[in-house]
Amino acid sequence: MIMVKFGVEFVPKEAYWKTVYYAIQSEKRGFDNLWITDHYNNRNVYVTLAATAMYTKKIVFGPGVTNPFLVNPIMTTQSLATLDELAPGRVVLGMGAGDKTTLASTGIEANKQLSAVVDAITIFKKMLEGKSVNYEGNVFKVSGTKFNFKPRGQIPVYIGAQGPKMLATAGKIGDGVLINASHPKDVDYAVSQIKKGVDEAGKNMSDVDVTAYTSFSVHKKLDKAMQAASPVVAFIVAGSPDIILERHGLEMEKANAIRAGLKKGDFGAAFGSVTPKMIEAFSIAGTPDICNEKIARLLKSGITQFVVGSPIGPNVRNSIDLISEQVIPNFKQ
């Protein structure tokens, strides 16, 4: 029996009590990890996580992912250290470079992304030691920075990565890597890059929680699962570089139709242009049996945590129950 951790991702776009309801449900239904996305245009990730901490007992949680451009690394460290007091030993950090398009709308130029992430994680780890920190990185510099309280200790760091350099860096300095991919081709490639960083650091792959952070949709009826996945896949296609689309043999004409539809706000046209091949490339969608097969394939790539991300299914509550009953038991002892 293969052992893998199961995580779940929620986007806090609705009232806090809905997200916390799903968090409690996920814990009750056997999920190990909970990731809350961090976007300025949704509810605040740390307020949501604090509420989650108060209503759960064992699920491990963290931002999935924050970025150093919108939230200064010192504030990220302060937030996580405080959360670690609310839920000792259950907190992890998910850190990535952020989405350039979203950041651009806030007036932030996300330059030197790799350096910014490395600097942020270095500052995070040093500040959690509870000592005065002096650090001069390529993007962030701190001088004599110290908390007036003693953090409980180190908090595991997961790095959200897609490109080869970020993936290798994640393997080198991270406790975990969040691979934003659902297809074996992409996950295999990511794992090979992570291994380069792991080797460089003289670590073992078993030192890193290799996490497939997927777009997931499950329903007893295939068409309903696919339909629910379409909007999320449309956004993934629109934001993917052409090289990724070509890797999966996707039609550029259709991809451009999606991009144009989303740009005009014509969501019907955009979502309607999503093809089954696109859903296959960028999500795990289907009946529980189909999802089980796809997860099993990803496990062969070497992943140690599987995250069910948006949309999860046409009805989130029912899909969490379905995953708990017909998916997780196949991968847990």
Among 25, 78, 145, 275, binds other proteins (CB under 8 A): 25
Among 49, 117, 237, 316, binds other proteins (CB under 8 A): 316
Tell me which residue has tokens 């500040």: 127
Please report whether residue 15 would count as binding other proteins according to CB under 8 A. yes
| CB-CB neighbours of 208 under 10 Å | 25
Please report whether residue 48 would count as binding other proteins according to CB under 8 A. no
Give least dist CB 23 to other proteins, A. 9
Part in contact with other proteins (CB under 8 A); list of ranges 21-29, 73-81, 115-123, 197-205: 21-29
Among 14, 85, 129, 325, binds other proteins (CB under 8 A): 14
Part in contact with other proteins (CB under 8 A); list of ranges 66-74, 97-105, 235-243, 314-322: 314-322
Q: Which is nearer to other proteins, 9 or 280 (CB)?
A: 9
Number of residues forming the site for other proteins (CB under 8 A): 14
Q: Which is nearer to other proteins, 22 or 306 (CB)?
A: 22
Residue 139 · residue 112 · CB < 8 Å:
yes
Part in contact with other proteins (CB under 8 A); list of ranges 2-10, 15-23, 144-152, 322-330: 15-23
Among 105, 207, 317, 325, binds other proteins (CB under 8 A): 317
Please report whether residue 259 would count as binding other proteins according to CB under 8 A. no
CA distance 25 to 27: 5
Part in contact with other proteins (CB under 8 A); list of ranges 14-22, 252-260, 271-279, 295-303: 14-22
Among 4, 8, 20, 274, binds other proteins (CB under 8 A): 20
Distance of CA 104 to the CA centre of its chain: 21
Among 78, 256, 315, 324, binds other proteins (CB under 8 A): 315
Q: Is the bond preceding residue 65 a cis peptide, omega within 30 degrees?
A: yes
CA distance 186 to 182: 7
Q: Please state the φ and ψ torsions of residue 178, each to the nearest 5 degrees.
A: -100, 105
Q: What is the DSSP string of 291-326?
A: HHHHHHHHHHTT-SEEEEEEEE-SSHHHHHHHHHHH
Q: What is the DSSP string of 190-213?
A: HHHHHHHHHHHTT--GGGSEEEEE
CA distance 7 to 29: 11
Q: Which is nearer to other proteins, 163 or 314 (CB)?
A: 314
Among 21, 135, 147, 235, binds other proteins (CB under 8 A): 21
Among 2, 47, 55, 242, binds other proteins (CB under 8 A): 55
Q: Is the dihedral of CA 321, 327, 328, 329 positive or negative?
A: positive
Please report whether residue 325 would count as binding other proteins according to CB under 8 A. no
Among 33, 37, 56, 113, binds other proteins (CB under 8 A): 56
One-letter amino acid identity for 175?
D
CB neighbour burial string for 240-275, b if at least 16 within 10 angstroms, e if fewer: beeebbeebebeeebbebbbebbeeeeeeebbebbb
Q: Which is nearer to other proteins, 14 or 246 (CB)?
A: 14
Which runs of E-coded beta strand occur in the chain?
5-10, 33-36, 60-63, 93-95, 133-136, 141-145, 157-161, 176-179, 209-218, 284-286, 305-312
Please report whether residue 24 would count as binding other proteins according to CB under 8 A. yes
Residue 269 · residue 297 · CB < 8 Å:
no
Positions touching other proteins (CB under 8 A) are 14-18, 20-21, 24-25, 55-56, 315-317
